[in-house]
Structure 1
Amino acid sequence: MTVTPAESSRAAGILSRPVSINGLTVPNRIVMAPMTRMFSPGGVPGDDVVSYYSRRAAAGVGLIVTEGTYVGHDSAGQSDRVPRFHGEEQLAGWAKVAEAVHAAGGTIVPQLWHIGMVRKAGEPPYADAPAVGPSGIRPDGTEGTGKAMTQQDLDDVIAAFAEAAAAAERIGFDGVELHGAHGYLIDQFLWAGTNRRTDAYGGDPVARTKFAAEIVAAVREAVSPEFPVIFRYSQWKQDAYDARLAETPEELESILTPLAAAGVDAFHASTRRYWLPEFDGSDLNLAGWTKKLTGKPAITVGSVGLDGDFLRGFMGEGAPVKGIDNLLDRLESEEFDLVAVGRALLQDPEWAAKVLAGRFDDVKPYDAAALKTLS
């Protein structure tokens, strides 16, 4: 990809600006997107995980969002190799990650995660734990082997998120991100396709936001006022790529407003292709609408720097390098504030350093084999 000196200088100038999220100053606009890795046996991040994140921080990533980490609820996950954000050994491992990222000049937040009805029966780390969700319905529309959550279940999960957030601050992280996207538990409440409840947690979009808002409020209460709380959400789901929480800006506003009021400091709006407009009649993408409707900082994500949907990467397909002029235009116009990069950073730990230095010719295309190495 041939880039003129003027274009290189423009990229460096736009992306290298610091930005604030509550009490945190992120040194530039580049975020490492969360990517599940399954490289933590027993849920414990080891020295390889420390190296994985610190290497990217040293190469110029401003803010790292870790892979999804299970909160302290038995039904939260379904793998003993996905890291957990509870337990003495697990948190000690994460403390080393945060320390190394800071030593490399970066900032880092853990993504706190509960998969809800995605969980399959009998899976580790707690084989006897049932799948739980708003209505016992999986994101693909089928009835799972789990159960609809009782009030006690709701209270337990809310407490688990709050405890994980408090632990994150205690061991030296810079904030937390709550995983409310892609058809997992929080998103299962937000989406009418999986939330059929008739109590206060179901019904119209505002009611369906109640559970998420209560998690945000509990997290906000558990941490310092200046400690950033980021909320990731999406329209699409893992089993329903055309699903939508909101068909109009007004519907989206009704969902985001209670979350902002509960204490969200920034939103991470997950899309498959960041350059696509979200609603008819406007060029704004989902992050752009999020910032416009809430006034909060917004992170965009979706095939940044690559020509091809990231989901195809998980099916073994590569992706050539794609220019970022459109992205820079949007950042310069303040449509959104930060940009999260996934596969490009997975493939090339030096991606941020190359882009910030204008070395676009050195950027590598995405090779799906990188999913097998993740170094």
Structure 2
Amino acid sequence: MTEVRYGIIGIGNMGAGHARSLIEGKIKGAKLTAVCDGMPAKRDWAREQLAGVAVYENAEQMLESGLVDAVIVATPHYDHPQEAIRAFAKGVHVLIEKPAGVYAKQVREMNEAASVAAKEGLKFGIVYNQRTNPLYRKLRDLIAAGELGEIRRTNWIITNWYRSQAYYDSGSWRATWSGEGGGVLINQCPHQLDLWQWTIGMMPTRIRAFCHFGKHRSIEVEDDVTAYAEYENGATGVFITTTGEAPGTNRFEVAGTRGKIVIENDEMTFWRLREPEPDFNARNTESFATPECWKVDIPIHGTSSGHPGIIQNFADAILHGTPLIAPGEEGIHGLSISNAMHLSTWTDGWVDLPFDEALHEAELNKRIEASSVRKAETAGKPADLTGTY
């Protein structure tokens, strides 16, 4: 194969953006050959805007056409796993939009299908475009190299996701359990939840979360969250997010035995201790002494390649065996954290990870049944309901 023929399942906001990147030649070694969408207006748009691209009503038709080697799944959240599994069964590479799904059980089933498909050489990726951001890549590199020593604490305040009531009122499916499967955690924060564990190289062992549902807006899902996490090595973490605060903050702080790194306002600041804090403490005899600390300038090279960068990397993985920046199987990590936060709130207690996925699904189903958008109404929802942030 010398060129990857991409198909897109769902041409709403994100799907249309990916289509433009491919049509405009931003992805080397790849071309857009087909798209599908259940909404007639979206298919009409595709015929007008995507010259030479085949347009189908559903994924089955597109996969049967033989026109695609890989698909980008940009459907509603609940449909990501089933569309991926369907594509794998047809021998097609799969790149899914975030989140991997709504609940861990369905994502685990998708990962199992991907494992089988991998034996046939099929690739599986997820559009975690923030992994291309050089700030977070550098943070991951510094931590992996031991520059921060042992991680002791993380703190992410991500409150710059402001959304007005008009935003939520723009679609009856928005911010509903049956339409999106959650609120700020499932729609706005999947990137941060992924980066939280990806950069430090650790998943929490247990979580206690306080999700407030419809606190600032007339919605049924969470719009304000404060969560506390504990890790196997004794480290702790705090994750705070909301869509109802202005002006918002995006500050990620990681402290270790050799200092502290803060990422805020697209800048990294590294306060490096001259010696590890435990070593200083062991030898120190002065009551109010503190370790010597240097503010270190960290060179950050490159720019974030965003969505096109992930699509390019996926094409390169298919054509040349290039390692994936965001393997699809890793989508379950950030989702498991958000699932645990929901479950902790619903059960009013600590949740150990791995958690009881059957219990989470049962609790979620209770809320889907009571949702303002019924399941029967959302089962065939058009694919432009996703990726709207």
Q: Which has the higher strand share?
A: 2
- Shorter-chain TM-score above 0.5: no
Q: Which of 1 and 2 has greater Rg?
A: 2
TM-score range, shorter chain: under 0.3
Task: Give the alignment's TM-score, normalised by structure 2.
Answer: 0.24
* Structure with more contact order per residue of length (Cα contacts < 8 Å, sep ≥ 6): 2
